[in-house]
């Protein structure tokens, strides 16, 4: 069996593991805190790779941020990572080949290869966490666009400038469908700010009317966004992942979307590839592209 | 020089012409009224094809409605065409090969091959007319999705159910960015219904405050929709066509979009492939796919 080293670089943690051709993790996943400077990140990546150098075919890195079309450089959207991260030349980290791709794209690929969207050549993964990430697969290929940044889930849900999004624009899908969006929706309803998404989900489960209402509006917003994406992409399915994904009633959303969709009925699934889908997807995608 | 017969089937007219490999129309474009029944449409198409049978390589039809992925059957969205149109088996219209594709997709392809988006392997065409049509090209291939219907410009612009769209859903991009959308926006402002898009554009050009305001809101809505598409697709460019496309200030929209886009700057162009871009695009696409 051949192995690659899968690494996931996030704003908080760097995780890594040996992963085989089938996307199976060997032994444990190791986690370290993401250092504060890009130099330190570069050095830690070199150290990690050096440890595994002799038993791997290549290195596959799933990273926060936009990755270019030659899969060797981060070119944008790295709010959680230090200035200078974009300067790292990933190919120089090792004598082995180093493959880099955006973490949400990698996770979408893992779902397509071993998770919820297996055999769905046209699929869209939405990672619902603090924000919303996205990975779009068209005809069995990852949608990257002209520079590599495609799949940003920042399309407007309102013409009235209600919520400014983290991206600077107003009322993006992310600012309603994310965990933070749910929080803002709940704050609008209850009139005070000191709530967590945990409070809201727990409260709704325990029958709190306001929190139930917030969760319903949040799901309606997710459904509205998915309907638009279904009309644009005509995908076989959507996969919902991320810390908030599991709280979505996929059956209800599927029913709503398919009652309005102009293209043809689609499916909505919960993610299945697990917490390490980023690094697993990086290895599986690297396997095909390098 | 080899010729194909290009045919455009719309709700009002059927147009046709001989078109060469380079997308150049030979002689004139002939137009006839679209008959009221699908049988009559089928017969008229057979008659037209029969006339040209001996001097063509294949038949290329740009049609209203969604076309399947094998380019031989209309499968949906044919509000302007008679019931039964979907039953026509286009391959049986002639001994020659018959290639069918959605008219907006064909027009997008014509712009990519000989019009405003030449060399833009990732491009999106928006046809702004009574409604809004769309054609999306990714990596030099038409986006069709799982069943052929991708590229429907029906994504929500509001969470408040302000305008019901022709598709049955609420507040789609089409219901704001189309000519009809402009009219509804103007009606909201002036408070009476008896206006045409011509009145609005003329009025705005002549300095009427209300109509200028309506046109500005309309352009802002178009800009907002394009920003979302730019974040999703990261395209090289957008092409605006259709009867309303020419009234859009593309420079202003490009500036807005690029000041917020998360991916990388894009371009906005007016269409250049002309009124017959549908049938021309059908021939150019058929050339590559059959």
Other beta carbons within 10 Å of B6: 28
Residue B82 to chain A, least CA–CA distance (Å): 18
Residue B134 to chain A, least CA–CA distance (Å): 9
Q: Does some domain include residue B71?
A: yes
Hey, are the CB atoms on B263 and A136 less than 8 Å from each other?
A: no
Hey, are the CB atoms on B156 and A227 less than 8 Å from each other?
A: yes
Kindly report, residue by residue over B232-246, the tens digit of the pLDDT.
999 999 999 999 999
Residue A79 pLDDT: 73
Indicate whether A39 pLDDT > 90. Answer: yes
Residues 58-77 of A with CB under 8 A from B: 66, 75-77
A145: contact with B, CB 8 A cutoff: yes
Domain with residue B14: its CATH number is: 3.30.420.40
Kindly report, residue by residue over A8-33, the tens digit of the pLDDT.
999 999 999 999 999 999 999 999 99
Q: Does some domain include residue B234?
A: yes
**Separation in Å, CA A201 to CA A179, A211, B222:** 10, 7, 36
Hey, are the CB atoms on A169 and B260 less than 8 Å from each other?
A: yes
Chain B residues inside the 8 Å CB shell of A231: 152-155
Tell me, yes or no, whether B215 and B164 share the same domain: yes
More confident residue, B78 or A81: A81
Residue B17: which pLDDT band, with cuts at 50, 70 and 90?
A: very high
A121: contact with B, CB 8 A cutoff: yes
Residue B39 pLDDT: 95
Q: Does some domain include residue A190?
A: yes
Which residues fall within 8 angstroms of residue A278, CB to CB, at 6 or more apart?
A8, A62, A103, A106, A107, A110
- Cβ contacts below 8 Å, chain A against chain B, sum to 153
Helix (H) or strand (E) holding B59: strand B58-63
**CB-side exposure of B91: number of CA atoms within 13 Å?**
6
Residue A80 pLDDT: 81
Q: Does some domain include residue A74?
A: yes
Residue A58 pLDDT: 97
Residue A1 pLDDT: 67
- Say how many Å lie between the first and final Cα of chain B, rounded: 18
Other beta carbons within 10 Å of A28: 9
Which residue from B minimizes the CA distance to A119?
B146
Residue A227: which pLDDT band, with cuts at 50, 70 and 90?
A: very high
Chain B residues inside the 8 Å CB shell of A181: none
CA-closest candidate to residue A238, choices A101, A116, A141: A116
Tell me, yes or no, whether A207 and A249 share the same domain: yes
Helix (H, G, I), strand (E, B) or coil at A187: helix
Tell me, yes or no, whether B265 and B125 share the same domain: yes
Residue B1 pLDDT: 67
Angle between helices B277-289 and B103-114 (to 10 degrees): 80
Chain B residues inside the 8 Å CB shell of A151: 232
Q: What's the DSSP call for residue A270?
A: E
Looking at the structure of chain B, the number of domains it has is: 2
Find the CB nearest B159 among A136, A158, A263: A158
Antiparallel, parallel or unpaired: β A237-241 and A267-270: parallel
B176: contact with A, CB 8 A cutoff: yes
> For residue B97, what are its two tokens?
């090969």
Kindly report, residue by residue over B61-119, the tens digit of the pLDDT.
999 999 999 999 999 867 789 989 999 999 999 999 999 999 999 999 999 999 999 99
A138: contact with B, CB 8 A cutoff: yes
Q: Does some domain include residue B244?
A: yes
Hey, are the CB atoms on A232 and B232 less than 8 Å from each other?
A: yes
Q: Choosing among B263, B266, B267, B289, which should be mutated to test the A contact, i.e. which has the most A CBs within 10 A?
A: B263
Tell me, yes or no, whether B181 and B265 share the same domain: yes
Q: What's the DSSP call for residue B24?
A: P
**CB-side exposure of B185: number of CA atoms within 13 Å?**
28
Q: What letters, b where the CB count within 10 A reaches 16 and e where it falls short, cover B222-253?
A: bbbbbbbbbbbbbbbbbbbbbebbebbebeeb
Tell me, yes or no, whether B60 and B150 share the same domain: no
CA distance B39 to A111: 46
Residue B94 pLDDT: 94
Hey, are the CB atoms on B229 and A260 less than 8 Å from each other?
A: no
**Separation in Å, CA A182 to CA A198, B48, B223, B274:** 11, 58, 27, 47
Find the CB nearest B263 among A147, A227, A229: A147
Share of chain A above pLDDT 90, in %: 95
CA distance A183 to A175: 10
CA distance B3 to B185: 45
Q: What is chain A's alpha carbon radius of gyration, rounded to the nearest angstrom?
A: 19
Q: Choosing among A146, A256, A264, which should be mutated to test the B contact, i.e. which has the most B CBs within 10 A?
A: A146
Kindly report, residue by residue over A164-221, the tens digit of the pLDDT.
999 999 999 999 999 999 999 999 999 999 999 999 999 999 999 999 999 999 999 9
Find the CB nearest B262 among A77, A221, A228: A77
Tell me, yes or no, whether A249 and A136 share the same domain: yes
Tell me, yes or no, whether B231 and B88 share the same domain: no
CA distance A206 to B83: 51
Contact predicate A229/A198, CB 8 Å: no
CA distance A284 to B184: 50
Chain B residues inside the 8 Å CB shell of A225: 155-156
Residue B150 to chain A, least CA–CA distance (Å): 5
Hey, are the CB atoms on A159 and B158 less than 8 Å from each other?
A: yes
- For chain A, the average pLDDT equals 96
Tell me, yes or no, whether B132 and B210 share the same domain: yes
Kindly report, residue by residue over B142-161, the tens digit of the pLDDT.
999 999 999 999 999 999 99
Indicate whether A141 pLDDT > 90. Answer: yes
Kindly report, residue by residue over B25-42, the tens digit of the pLDDT.
999 999 999 999 999 999
Residue A19 to chain B, least CA–CA distance (Å): 30
Q: Does some domain include residue B150?
A: yes
Indicate whether B56 pLDDT > 80. Answer: yes
Hey, are the CB atoms on B76 and A262 less than 8 Å from each other?
A: yes
Which residues fall within 8 angstroms of residue A51, CB to CB, at 6 or more apart?
none
Average pLDDT over residues A81-89: 91
Burial of B92 (0-12, 13-18, 19+ CB in 10 A): exposed
Q: Mind spelling out the 3-state secondary structure of B245-274?
A: HHHCCHHHHHHHHHHHCCCCCCEEEECCCC
Tell me, yes or no, whether B191 and B94 share the same domain: no
> B220 lies in which domain range?
118-270
Q: Does some domain include residue B113?
A: no
Helix (H, G, I), strand (E, B) or coil at A59: strand
Average pLDDT over residues B185-199: 96
Burial of A26 (0-12, 13-18, 19+ CB in 10 A): exposed
Other beta carbons within 10 Å of A246: 13
Indicate whether A290 pLDDT > 90. Answer: no
- Say how many Å lie between the first and final Cα of chain A, rounded: 18
Contact predicate B187/B179, CB 8 Å: no
Chain A residues inside the 8 Å CB shell of B122: 145-146
Residue B43 pLDDT: 96
Tell me, yes or no, whether B54 and B141 share the same domain: no
Tell me, yes or no, whether A134 and A31 share the same domain: no
Work out the angle at residue A257's Cα, subtended by the Cα atoms of residues B177 and B163, and round it to the nearest 5 degrees. 35
Kindly report, residue by residue over B200-241, the tens digit of the pLDDT.
999 999 999 999 999 999 999 999 999 999 999 999 999 999
Tell me, yes or no, whether A159 and A210 share the same domain: yes
Q: Does some domain include residue A114?
A: no
CA distance B74 to B90: 9
Hey, are the CB atoms on A156 and B152 less than 8 Å from each other?
A: no
């Amino acid at each position: 069996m051949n192995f690659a080293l899968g690494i996931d670089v996030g704003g908080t943690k760097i995780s890594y593991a040996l992963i085989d051709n089938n996307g199976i993790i060997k032994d444990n996943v190791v986690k370290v805190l993401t250092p504060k400077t890009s130099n330190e990140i570069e050095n830690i990546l070199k150290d990690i790779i050096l440890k595994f150098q002799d038993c791997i075919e290549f290195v596959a890195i799933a990273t926060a941020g936009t990755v270019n079309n030659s899969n060797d450089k981060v070119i944008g959207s790295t709010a959680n990572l230090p200035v200078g991260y974009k300067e790292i030349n990933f190919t120089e980290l090792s004598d082995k080949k180093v493959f880099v791709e955006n973490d949400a794209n990698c996770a979408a690929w893992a779902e397509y290869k071993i998770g919820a969207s297996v055999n769905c050549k046209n699929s869209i993964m939405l990672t619902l966490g603090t924000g919303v990430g996205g990975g779009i697969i068209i005809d069995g290929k990852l949608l990257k666009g002209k520079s590599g940044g495609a799949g940003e889930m920042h399309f407007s849900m309102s013409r009235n400038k209600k919520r400014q999004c983290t991206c600077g624009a107003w009322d993006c899908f992310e600012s309603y469908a994310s965990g933070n969006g749910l929080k803002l929706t709940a704050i609008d309803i209850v009139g005070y700010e000191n709530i967590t998404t945990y409070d809201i989900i727990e409260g709704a489960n325990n029958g709190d009317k306001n929190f139930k209402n917030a969760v319903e509006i949040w799901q309606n917003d997710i459904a509205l966004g998915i309907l638009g994406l279904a009309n644009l992409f005509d995908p076989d399915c959507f996969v919902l992942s991320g810390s908030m994904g599991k709280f979505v009633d996929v059956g209800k959303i599927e029913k709503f979307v398919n009652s309005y969709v102009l293209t043809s009925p689609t499916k909505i699934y919960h993610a299945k590839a697990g917490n390490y889908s980023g690094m697993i997807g990086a290895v599986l995608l690297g396997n095909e592209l390098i």
